[in-house]
Structure 1
Amino acid sequence: MADITVAVTEDQLAQVRAVRREVFVEEQNVPEELEYDALDATSLHVLALGEDGVALGTGRLIHGSHAFGITGIEGRVLLGRLAVRKPARGTGLGVGLVRAIEQAGREHGARELELHAQVQALGFYERLGYTAEGPVYDDAGIPHRTMTRVL
């Protein structure tokens, strides 16, 4: 099983970027200039490493005033950029990453979590207790839907 930790060193943050590049830019054709944004600097990033030290997955938590500016709801944080490399898909790693981000949200005083799920991943998040709200919308050419969960 992978070790999930908060990425704080430059090496760990480089691994976060590499996983996101592989999954979003290379696999899903998200333009690189859309994948990385100013929120990366103030977000909490989690990183999953395999026993061999290879990065397998990542996700980020946007909290504080940055999350409030996006969600518009005080006490709501934003889970984003959840990415699992192909070799680790179907192993439960995605669930572990979501739960680690939820815990980090609780530690930052969040009462609710919001995410912007790709439509093809709605079932995954529903199984974790998230509820879809609002219409489907386009984000970087991929259909998405907002989902929330009370922590």
Structure 2
Amino acid sequence: MAAELRVAAGEVDLALVRLIRHEVFVVEQGVPAELEYDEYDATSVHVLALADGMALGTGRLIHGAEALGKTGVEGRVLLGRLAVRKAARGTGLGAELVRALEQAGRERGGTELELHAQVQALGFYERLGYAAEGPVYDDAGIPHRTMTRKL
């Protein structure tokens, strides 16, 4: 897919990030809005994918002291909130977003990336080089598993 991927900058971009996440997580998957948006949104790096004037996907990267506080591992950054709108699924956009977030992690000193994958998406992340760790757990009523990859 010929999409422009960029770090979200300014209120317009961040509104598009929230729109995509609301559509995918709150509407489609039934995640309560109060769980979807958190204190990490303000300090995370958000990557936004656009094509033909439409916002199609997003993901965020938690880095620095906040990532260390959440992961407990020095140099580990945390990828999360990866969301691709229905119209762009199956096009490779999700993989492009992951690679862009990995690059953002490297640029911020990350040496390893952690993510919390929905169980139904484990194969997607495995194809991108991620390995599952630990047991399945519940997050917002959806089964998840932690996955990691060296950067």
Pairwise same-fold verdict (TM > 0.5): yes
Aligned-residue Cα RMSD (Å) equals 0.3
Q: Give the Cα separation in 2 of the matches to 1:140 and 1:109.
A: 30
Q: SS of the residue aligned with 2:80?
A: strand
Which residue is equivalent to 1:42? 43
Task: Spell out, residue by residue over 1:128-147, the C-alpha distance to the aligned partner (whole angstroms, 9 max, x if none).
Answer: 00000000000000000000
Gaps of 5+ in 1: none
| Residues 20-65 of structure 1 deviation map (CA, whole Å, 9 limit, x = unaligned) | 00000000000000000000000000000012x1100000000000
Q: Deviations over 1:69-109 (max 9, x none)?
A: 00000100000000000000000000000000000000000
**Corresponding residue SS for 2:59:** strand
* Structure 2 residue runs without a partner (length 5+): none
The structural deviation recorded for 1:9 is 1.2
Mapping for residues 1-150 of structure 1, pairs under 5 Å = 1-51=2-52, 53-150=53-150
The TM-score with structure 1 as length reference comes to 0.99
Query: What is the letter of the counterpart of residue 103 of structure 1?
Result: Q
- Deviation at 1:111? 0.4
Q: Indicate the percent of aligned positions where both proteins have the same amino acid.
A: 77
Q: TM-score when scaled to structure 2?
A: 0.99
Give 3-state SS (helix, strand or coil) of 1:146's partner: strand
Q: Which amino acid aligns with 2:90?
A: G
- Moved segments of 4+, more than 2 Å: none
Using the alignment, how far apart are the partners of 1:17 and 1:23 within structure 2?
A: 10
Distance 1:65 1:8 in 2: 21
